[in-house]
């Protein structure tokens, strides 16, 4: 499962071309997604479809986001090296690994214990070391705030207040907001009290739920 063969590399190249055709223009995003072995974040029975542009089931009834969504959210973040970045919804850890390739101070929170445990094992095997937390992303990570960037990878019914508070002035949060279908929002904290909001297309994420699951 953790072997990265020339077949995987070839499929990944094809995935990256497809991302370009779908409008991903940021060369760093494309470079990083060409590197991270998405098949390593999935059950081995899904290895043959790992590089198709689709969401795939992981543990706890959750899904790994589809590559074009991961690429688009990453592009919206406008990342720069050494930024403090908080991700809500570790899930399989694939998006975390994409962020990790940017040389960030990276923190990620997951409310499902089984996913949190599994992602940590995957990270260890791939020798990457984001700081992982088992907790409720609605609360953010107060002790580690403020953040330059916050990325939410589950569909939030509304924007969590704590996350707004934990964003630096000048910082950016990318978050899908809505019930069944979400609008992708990019919020830039312009001053202590003002946020500039940009609205992108419609997406369907698994829901952002309150409190830790078991
Ligand atoms: N970035 C992940 C996406 C997984 S799906 C990946 O690439 O695989 C979204 C994840 O958000 C799920 O694992 C779900 O359990 C988690 N989630 C939902 N609500 C949450 C919350 N309040 N705090 C932390 N994680 C949450």
The reported pTM is 0.98
Digit-coded pLDDT (tens) for 30-49: 999 999 999 999 999 998 89
Provide the 10 A C-beta neighbour count for residue 101: 17
47-74 average pLDDT score: 95
* Among 160, 195, 171, residue whose Cα is nearest residue 88: 160
pLDDT at 2: 80
Q: Which atom of ligand 1 is nearest to the CA of 115?
A: 13
| 28 pLDDT above the threshold of 80 | yes
Find the residues whose C-beta lies inside 6 A of ligand 1: 62-65, 88-89, 91-92, 94-95, 109-112, 115, 136-138, 153-154, 206, 208-209
All domains in the chain, ordered by first residue: 55-203 (3.40.50.150)
- What percent of the chain has pLDDT above 90? 97
Query: Cα(18)–Cα(201) distance, rounded to whole angstroms?
Result: 18
Within 8 A by CB and 6+ apart from 27, the residues are none
Helices (H), 47-149: 67-77, 94-100, 113-125
Q: Which atom of ligand 1 is nearest to the CA of 60?
A: 15
Tell me, in angstroms, the distance from the centre of ligand 1 to residue 176's CA.
12
Q: Report CA-CA distances (Å) from 106 to 31, 68, 132.
A: 19, 21, 9
Contact 42, 119 (CB under 8 A): no
Contact 73, 50 (CB under 8 A): no
| 193 pLDDT above the threshold of 90 | yes
Query: Cα(99)–Cα(97) distance, rounded to whole angstroms?
Result: 5
Query: Cα(44)–Cα(24) distance, rounded to whole angstroms?
Result: 28
Work out whether the CA dihedral 133, 138, 144, 146 comes out positive or negative. positive
pLDDT at 47: 86
pLDDT at 1: 61
- What percent of the chain has pLDDT above 70? 100
Provide the 10 A C-beta neighbour count for residue 80: 12
| 68 pLDDT above the threshold of 80 | yes
| 179 pLDDT above the threshold of 70 | yes
* Among 152, 18, 175, residue whose Cα is nearest residue 96: 152
């Amino acid at each position: 499962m953790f072997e990265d063969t020339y077949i995987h590399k070839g499929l990944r190249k094809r995935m990256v071309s497809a991302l370009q055709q779908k409008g991903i223009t940021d060369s760093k995003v494309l470079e990083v997604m060409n590197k991270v072995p998405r098949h390593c974040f999935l059950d081995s029975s899904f290895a043959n479809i790992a590089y198709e542009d689709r969401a795939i089931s992981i543990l706890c009834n959750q899904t790994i986001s589809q590559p074009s969504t991961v690429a688009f959210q990453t592009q919206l973040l406008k990342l720069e090296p050494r930024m403090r970045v908080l991700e809500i919804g570790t899930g399989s850890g694939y998006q975390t690994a994409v962020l990790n390739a940017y040389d960030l101070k990276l923190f990620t929170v997951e409310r499902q214990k089984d996913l949190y445990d599994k992602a940590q094992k995957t990270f260890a095997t791939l020798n990457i070391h984001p700081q992982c937390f088992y907790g409720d992303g609605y609360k953010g990570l107060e002790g580690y705030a403020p953040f330059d960037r916050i990325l939410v990878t589950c569909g939030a019914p509304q924007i969590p207040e704590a996350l707004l508070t934990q964003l630096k002035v000048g910082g950016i949060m990318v978050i899908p907001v809505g019930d069944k279908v979400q609008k992708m929002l990019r919020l830039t904290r312009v001053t202590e009290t003002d946020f500039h909001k940009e609205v992108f297309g419609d997406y369907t994420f698994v829901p952002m739920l309150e409190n830790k699951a078991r």
